[in-house]
Amino acid sequence: MTQPKILVTRKLTDPVERRLAESFDATFNPDDRPLSPEALADALRSHDALVPTVSDRITAAMLRAEGCRVRMIANVGVGYSNIDIAAAEAAGIAVSNTPDVLTDATADIAMLLILSATRRAFAAEKMLREGRWGGFSVVDGLGTGLQGKVLGIIGMGRIGRATARRAAAGFGMQIVYYNRSPVEDPGVEARRLESIGDVMAAADVVSVHVPGGGAAPLVTAEHITRMKPSAHLVNTARGDSIDQAALIEALVQGRIAGAGLDVFAEEPAVPEALRALETVTLLPHIGSATQEVRTAMGHLAADNLDAFFAGETLPCRVV
């Protein structure tokens, strides 16, 4: 029996690649370099399934193109804003993702960014590495503590709830949140507010956990103007979940105290204005970057592929 022909767009961990090689006629990317739009379009015409990551933009034009052969896209990532879902559904192409397995790792990074931003860790480390540290001071480089402060969660899904648990149990923070749908059990004592703007105004730290990929950011410029001058914003969701230009303007003008970002609007490009700010901690999209989690994500993508080609229900079907 002929094995389905699949293309894996980026390098995956060794156990996952071995599994895929055994089950499919698989082509891998040993150099781990992002494919060009032209290469992605060609792959859609020449393979039965695609295994992309959130860095691979699969457009409506690609999916509607004549000769598109792919019937399954097993995205390696909890998000899928890199894929035009409406076009995939119209073309009868199944799409899956890899939720759940990265919840704790991403919540850990959210807390790392919250701590780094509020304690001004980047500015302190930069001063030390550049040889500008003059020794211990009682008054220099002061940050703010988290105990008793208000953490605002935008998007109380799995990762939002995991972040709230860490902040409440580990640091004594009070939790407020906004979620579009009711949350039956937030997992901690938490107060639901009526809007994103209400959370932005109430919080000392705002942590964003909503999807991106919409026509406009869910966290807008107007929302950012509601933040306290002493507040910090953290984003581990998607770069286009927030109005990045408005955030940069607020930071440059000192209208908010700082930020911690693991994701950016046009990755891998990071605006120079952000990179120049000592009030911002920047990470290169490492929310799920542990050996255990990245392997689990790959295996879950493989589970979805196995189910699709066996004619079974996909474990994590998007469309």
Catalytic residue numbers read: 238, 267, 285
120 backbone φψ class: left, alpha, beta (φ>0; ψ -120 to 50): left
Give strand ranges (E) for the chain.
5-8, 25-27, 49-51, 72-74, 94-96, 150-154, 174-178, 190-192, 205-208, 232-235, 258-261, 280-282
Number of residues that make up the chain: 319
List the one residue out of 250, 270, 266 whose CA is nearest residue 258.
250
> E strands of 187-256, at which residues?
190-192, 205-208, 232-235
- Least Cα distance to 258 among 231, 235, 284, 283 occurs for 231
Query: If you search the block for the tokens 């066996």, which residue do you land on?
Result: 310
Angle of the 291-309 helix axis to the 14-23 helix axis, nearest 10 = 10
Residues 51, 25 contacting (CB under 8 angstroms): no
- Spatial separation of the C-alpha atoms in residues 144 and 276, rounded to whole Å: 22
The stretches of 77-211 forming alpha helices (DSSP H) are 85-90, 103-118, 121-129, 158-171, 196-202
Phi, psi of 43 (to 5 degrees): -65, -35
Which residues, 6+ apart, have CB-to-CB distance to 318 below 8 Å? 75, 80, 85, 95, 96, 97
CB atoms < 10 A from the CB of 158, how many?
Answer: 18
